[in-house]
Structure 1
């Protein structure tokens, strides 16, 4: 019995260590053939353990086990980040995103689930560290107990590894020799070094600005007198227009909306922008578009928002010819970035008068947010035209439950959405099913597009100019593992002179950009927009 227990424990310890050394960092790579390889790190570890005296060996084995646990956590984080954000985890940048992830889970699944997940995650990490340390100590003891045979076995394994490497021998479609763990650690270390170097470079880059010293009277002269609305639609990406599951419904919505706007006298042109982010971190897309800088991580975001780099929205404020407002139904706490964006006033989730239910993460339906914007801001008398910065949230994952359109005159305080929210799908049912997620994502984009274009049709005037775009593609599980980062962008206006100014952009007529319409980096939009509408460059250094 004792012998059976001993060999069972040994087998499990060896399997745990090999799994940690060979675990890939993406879900598609999680295949059986990944675990049939010979890891160099195991051979080196065995050699080191055999060479050390007892106490240093136990200390080294403990550190080795904890290191394997850390490597496993990093690989699991890579899996999650690749699945949702289309990139690996960055230890220098991404710890700040974990509280946001917990808040997202709380909004989606409830506070109890979020708290339980956070506590459970910490316990699992500590348990993993203890198990890994125990496994490495157990195996190191076994090696020294049978030192002669273990030494011979390590030499043989090393010889086989070198031979397989030299001859590039494979089994089950994979190289037999592996140094995957060392490579993973090198990758994470290089990401950290690159991030720190990038931060210093970007701080210098952000100081230079093509329009930083442009006098107020030379900014946006060709839009004077216009009410300009910049609107981001959450997760409105190229996949919504081209994916075979989402595209039919979204395409019908864009076609119907285009016809309705044309009937009301509006016309549109559309193109593509390549977003600085993917699957989440929407603020990176917003700030990239408005600043003209490529802001693809949190450190860059903090650097630029702490500085004086001119945003497109602030350019309107700088002229003195517009009142500038922000409508942020997703903001539920202080938002100091409003100063950097140049917003005279900010309306967050608590200032739009909504009394209805939340729709998962989204605090209120887009239709209500737009009606509140009209009622409290856009529809009132103003001494100056408005420049509005509006962020719509109904198409934010997990895309369940999704609001439905109601009569605009019946919106009231939003209580009309109670029954719609209760009858909708549950977030948990959608999150775990890829097909349902894709279907519901498409429906959420249809809803957001319908809300916005109906608002324009209902409340737009001869002087209204609407610029709307997506902030990023939906997560990889919905858009695909190799999806582009492109998002649609459209400019809608009744005055033909507004669209004539961008005729040389070669954008597609209507709300749906053609597949071969121009694609720009998102950071190029600010300068192109300022130039198109008459701004004169005066650079700052």
Structure 2
């Protein structure tokens, strides 16, 4: 029994030391290496008297347990966000993850998952402490043999490291845990430094001092609509599983819009986020700043940096409206967006069912926008920011198009929701996730372009784009962060103003169409439509 416990403790500690922090690296050969930290830890425990050894075992075990928890968080964040966990910034996102599970899988599953995650996070350091303490006692009980073993292991490790010896395609000598600790430390340090640097950067603005009458004079009299399609990324257009249906929809919609007198041009923007964190993409697009983490988001939204949407309102030439069906709680960021009126999930009159995370189908959100704002008689043209959410994961159940005259209060979608796929069936199947994701993009694009055909005018200008790529399980581990962006208008002068951008004609950008950082769009857009720069400096 004692030997079994010692063997288990050894395996557990070695596994914790060698655990990769990405699923792509989770291969058996990763666990055939010799961790230098195990040799150093054994030497430390052997060199200490009994009481000090027990204290050291607790400290070393706790450190290893915490590092294992952080590695596990890196695994999850890498799978969904394409990056590691940030020890300073990302704790708030765990609640968002719980809410997503609740909306997709139900409150009971979310509660069990949350309890299980907390229990695991608490249990891992306890287990590593017990394992290290057990090994420390065994080493001390056989001090002479253990000392020789540590010396031999250290010599072997140094030799393997110097000579670069490998087994099963991996270096035999590794310092994986030390490198992981260093990476976490550098991530914290860089985050702290970035806060001050970004605060200065956010006070610098090429159009920060531009008088309102010099903003977008070439768009005066136009209804300008900025629409974000959730998770609409390059993969939807270029992935072999998803692209056939999406591209067919884009081509058909291009032709339908052309028949209605509209032309379109499309390009690519590189999003600051990946897999989730839509608000980072939204704020980057309208602010012209690279908002790639929660700290930057808090800084810019609590400051006075001028956003594209706010500038429309400042001119006095437009009424400004936001349609935010994903907002279900207090939203102080409304001031940052600078919108006269904001409709959240509870203010659009929807009486139908939720579709997993999405509070309402995109077709309903657009029809509500038409009823509440776009279709009203007004003294000024309208600038609207619309967030479409039907393509939010888990991509089940998916809404279907109904006749626009049948949308009503949304009750018509009840039967569609009941007939749809169950989120649990899609989440567990990678191929089906990709297929269903593609279908949601087809749906969202169809909703938006049909709305434009039905309700657009000679003075309507539509700019629509994705906020980020879908999670790596759908887009692929090597996918870019690029998203499509499209401008649609009847007035030829609107598209002629951006002819030098060399974007692709139609709704589908070519593979080699220009790629800009999403933060570059605001200033290029302002310049194209006649705005005069008046820089301010931080």
Cα distance in 1 between the residues matched to 2:277 and 2:466: 12
Q: Residue in 2 aligned with 1:69?
A: 65
Q: What pairs up with 1:335-346 in 2 under 5 angstroms?
A: 335-346=331-342
Q: Residue in 1 aligned with 2:179?
A: 183
Q: Residue in 1 aligned with 2:77?
A: 81
Residue number among 369, 385, 403 corresponding to 1:389 in the alignment: 385
Residue deviations 1:234-284 (CA, integer Å, cap 9, x gap): 000000000000000000000111111111111101001011111110000
Q: Residue in 1 aligned with 2:37?
A: 41
Residue deviations 1:137-178 (CA, integer Å, cap 9, x gap): 111000000001000100000000000011100011100011
For structure 2, the residue ranges without an aligned partner over 5 or more in a row are none
| Structure 2 residue 512 is matched with structure 1 residue 511 | no
For structure 1, the residue ranges without an aligned partner over 5 or more in a row are none
SS in structure 1 of the partner of residue 14 of structure 2: helix
Cα distance in 2 between the residues matched to 1:428 and 1:265: 43
Q: Residue in 2 aligned with 1:111?
A: 107
Residue number among 137, 157, 166 corresponding to 2:133 in the alignment: 137
Residue deviations 1:189-209 (CA, integer Å, cap 9, x gap): 001101110111000000011
SS in structure 1 of the partner of residue 24 of structure 2: coil
Cα distance in 2 between the residues matched to 1:430 and 1:44: 46
Residue number among 7, 10, 13 corresponding to 2:6 in the alignment: 10
Moved more, 114-123 or 448-457: 114-123
Cα distance in 2 between the residues matched to 1:185 and 1:277: 24
Q: What pairs up with 1:222-261 in 2 under 5 angstroms?
A: 222-261=218-257
Deviation, structure 1 residue 383 = 1.2
Moved more, 357-366 or 87-96: 87-96
| Two-structure CA RMSD over aligned residues (Å) | 0.7
Cα distance in 1 between the residues matched to 2:92 and 2:533: 36
Q: Count matched residues.
A: 537
Q: Residue in 2 aligned with 1:376?
A: 372
Deviation, structure 1 residue 130 = 1.7
SS in structure 2 of the partner of residue 397 of structure 1: coil
Contact 2:325 2:389 in 1 (8 A): yes
Q: Residue in 2 aligned with 1:489?
A: 485
Q: Residue in 1 aligned with 2:434?
A: 438
Cα distance in 2 between the residues matched to 1:334 and 1:10: 53
SS in structure 1 of the partner of residue 304 of structure 2: coil
Q: Residue in 2 aligned with 1:359?
A: 355
| Structure 2 residue 495 is matched with structure 1 residue 499 | yes
SS in structure 1 of the partner of residue 310 of structure 2: helix
Deviation, structure 1 residue 40 = 0.6
SS in structure 2 of the partner of residue 351 of structure 1: coil
| Structure 2 residue 531 is matched with structure 1 residue 535 | yes
Deviation beyond 3 Å, 4+ runs, structure 1 = none
| Structure 2 residue 158 is matched with structure 1 residue 162 | yes
Deviation, structure 1 residue 441 = 0.5
Contact 2:69 2:124 in 1 (8 A): no
Cα distance in 1 between the residues matched to 2:192 and 2:92: 15
Deviation, structure 1 residue 68 = 1.3
| Structure 2 residue 109 is matched with structure 1 residue 123 | no
Cα distance in 2 between the residues matched to 1:38 and 1:513: 49
Cα distance in 2 between the residues matched to 1:514 and 1:32: 40
Residue number among 142, 148, 153 corresponding to 2:144 in the alignment: 148
When normalised by structure 2's length, the TM-score is 0.99
SS in structure 2 of the partner of residue 349 of structure 1: coil
Deviation, structure 1 residue 116 = 1.5
Cα distance in 2 between the residues matched to 1:273 and 1:115: 37
Q: Residue in 2 aligned with 1:469?
A: 465
Q: Residue in 2 aligned with 1:349?
A: 345
Contact 2:53 2:136 in 1 (8 A): yes
